Chain A
Amino acid sequence: MTPNSPVSFTATPPLPSSSGTSHLLEVRDLKTYFDSDAGTVKAVDGVSFHIDKGETLAVVGESGSGKSVTSLSVMRLIPQPPGRFAGGRILFKGQDLLQKSKSEMRRIRGNEIAMIFQEPMTSLNPVKTVGHQIVEVIRLHQRLSAHQARRRAIDMLELVGIPEPGKRIDNFPHQMSGGMRQRVMIAMALSCNPELLIADEPTTALDVTIQAQILELMRRLQRELGMAILFITHDLGVVAEMADRVVVMYGGRAVEEGHVKAIFADPKMPYTAGLMGSIPRVNRDGPRRTRLAAIPGNVPNPLHLPPGCTFSNRCKHVRETCRETLPPLEDSGNRHMVRCLRWPDLSLKQELIT
């Protein structure tokens, strides 16, 4: 319906790796749309990325960027209708999850791919003990007796650092603090040794000191268990700490992708640079800043995305062509992908310093 749709994505360079099946997860040109009376919301509009075994990929973006819909799409948790997969593939160990039946998906979900959510209170059942809920997951996917499953649940609680796991297993969620509940969620997610853990803003609802505990726990568990993590967040500080690689999303599209160090040291897309400028970062040594470099304006209405670059209405480097042409996601060197018409002319690194 808008002039940007399908053709433009052919401009996306084929990923050199997309031929092989070596990636644990590979999302290719995913399009998840939602139909409403007011029109079609292209929540995710042509997103591609991959995750290898044992790696952490952070998907970073603000509200409405499509980061959560991307993660829910991988889990096939998009309610249909109003949602629909309008295109693309989600390859997990070479098999397209979008082609799987409901029962096949149920075997994968919680077993090979597990997910933890932002709000540990609302994602746990308040009328069942945490032990009951972990045992349920284990027995759904593994042939274990009730007794063995309970043993395993206690081991998992111990693994995630819950004191007195033998007692805590019989607690109800309301008897635990937010940090403890998130540990329970992680224990539940990891109880079947998944190869991929999707973490959708797992620390956003937690206090900073508890967030630090949970991030440390996730890093330790990844070292010990070797699962890959798809980490969805809006916090660039968390990205810097957790990720090997980063995908920056804006308006339903990936606008920049690369290794975490390259993204932070040399952002190529004005939105990424703007996001970095607007973080209130505590600088304990340098002079105190008194102003933040805010990005003007608001995220565009997903029903009426601008035809060209979705960031064009807020970008200070905008040219007329940006409003008309949808930029392709191009390789700027070393597989640092950028979706910006002007990236070769810009020196955003310089701007960030000054």
Chain B
Amino acid sequence: MTSLLTDAEHNVAAPSSALLDVRNLRKYFPIMGGLIPRVVANVKAVEDVSFTVKAGEVVGLVGESGSGKTTTGRALLRLTEPTSGEIMFDGVDIAKVSAKRMRDYRKEMQIVFQDPYASLNPRLTVEDTIMQAYRIHGLWDPTERRDRIVELLAAVGLSRHHLDRYPHEFSGGQRQRIGIARALAVNPRFILADEPVSALDVSIQAQVINLLQDLKEQFGLTILFIAHDLSVVEFISDRVIVMYLGRIVENAPSESLYRNPIHPYTEALLSAIPIPDPEATYERKVLEGDIPSPINPPSGCVFRTRCPLATKACAETVPVLEEKRPGHFAACLRR
């Protein structure tokens, strides 16, 4: 089953301009048990995931809890070690490089975390927080760096006055701006934004999404934007990938995905978003049940237990991610 998926995926993976090319990524978390502890089962958090991110592109990675989106992101930066698969970053398989070499790559690949309260050191001022990013990567130059930090703060909408302040003096939105400034400090080529606005209020969410949009244009950033909800990523993403239970079910340009989703799960996910219009008349497709356990995922298509279109064949064959329309990939036997 894996070889099929690889072949199909290689069609997408072909463009040489891909900055990031992920092939057959897997991440299993072993469950130990027994008198003499041994692996009795695996939590298959990420199962055979392949996709590419081109330079300058913003890709949204969307899925609900347990879909494996965060684990995928963390595995890309090797914050958790992938079980198998290749992560080609600019032509080098960083899944295979030594931990020491990986440090150099971390300069190129930065992360913005979900919780701006937990991801900043409460004892460091804004200046120290950003300075640390330079220090760790051996880029610290006391004479010019202060100006550079001020420039960075200006780029994320903060100012010189904020340099000596501590995280507790800032609101959630401002903290997220600090987190973004820290990620940008070392001039990364790739940014992993792991639910950067989920913890923020709606009006602040909009500010941060707009900011990322501006920074993308200003610095030509390549971003993988992880979110649990399709509404947040629409504005910023060129391409959106939808995951379910560790697998990619759909991968398409934004326009095509939102207007004409192919996979029934994407459809359900879109239909589940409450529409802020009391006059709206539409038929909601409410999915029944819960996401199954990743320890023992359903055979065949992992979505079949909740899918309105499922047939017997869906239990037998693992659907391959195929190009159903130009540039629009989906893994479904029925569509």
Residues on B lying within 8 angstroms of A by beta carbon are 64-65, 171-174, 201-207, 209-210, 213, 228-232, 234-235, 254-255, 258-259, 268-280, 284, 286-288, 290-291
Contact = CB atoms under 8 A, between A and B. Distances in A.
Contact of A279 (B202, B228, B268, B278): B202
B197 to A, nearest CB: 9
A288 interface: yes
For chain A, give the interface size range: 35 or more
Given A240-B275, A292-B209, A280 B234 contact: yes
Given A274-B203, A276-B276, 13 more contacts: A207-B291, A208-B229, A209-B272, A211-B274, A237-B273, A243-B278, A264-B279, A277-B206, A278-B202, A278-B206, A281-B275, A289-B234, A292-B210
Contacts of A346: none
A146 interface: no
Contacts of B284: 212, 216
A225 interface: no
B203 A280 contact: no
A298 to B, nearest CB: 5
Contacts of B287: 209, 212-213
Given A209-B64, A240-B277, A288-B258, A295 B206 contact: yes
A292 B290 contact: no
7 contacts: A62-B201, A63-B201, A208-B64, A212-B286, A240-B277, A276-B276, A293-B206
B290 A208 contact: no
Contacts of A282: 230-231, 234, 258, 270, 273
A114 B187 CA distance: 53
A290 B213 contact: yes
B125 to A, nearest CB: 19
A241 B275 contact: yes
Contact of A288 (B65, B254, B270, B286): B254
A284 B254 contact: no
Which of B201, B209, B235, B288 is packed against the most chain A CB atoms within 10 Å? B201
Contacts of B213: 290-291
Contacts of A275: 202-203
Given A180-B290, A296-B207, A240 B274 contact: yes
Interface string A201-222: 0000001111111011000000
B252 to A, nearest CB: 13
Nearest to A294: B206
Interface string A175-201: 001111000000000000000000000
A274 B207 CA distance: 12
B65 A178 contact: yes
Nearest to B288: A213
A178 B255 CA distance: 32
Contact of B272 (A211, A283, A289): A211
Interface string A253-295: 0000000110011000000001111111111110011111111
Contacts of A264: 276-279
B121 to A, nearest CB: 22
Given A240-B280, A298-B171, A280 B206 contact: yes
B298 to A, nearest CB: 16
Which of A237, A278, A282 is packed against the most chain B CB atoms within 10 Å? A282
Contacts of A293: 206
Contacts of B271: 212
A235 B276 CA distance: 8
Given A275-B202, A278-B206, A282-B230, A288 B278 contact: no
B176 to A, nearest CB: 12
A98 interface: no
Nearest to A61: B201
Nearest to A282: B231
Contacts of A30: none
Contact of B201 (A207, A210, A299): A299
A238 interface: yes
Contacts of A236: 202, 276
A9 B275 CA distance: 35
Contact of B274 (A237, A274, A284, A294): A237
A261 B279 contact: yes
A68 B246 CA distance: 36
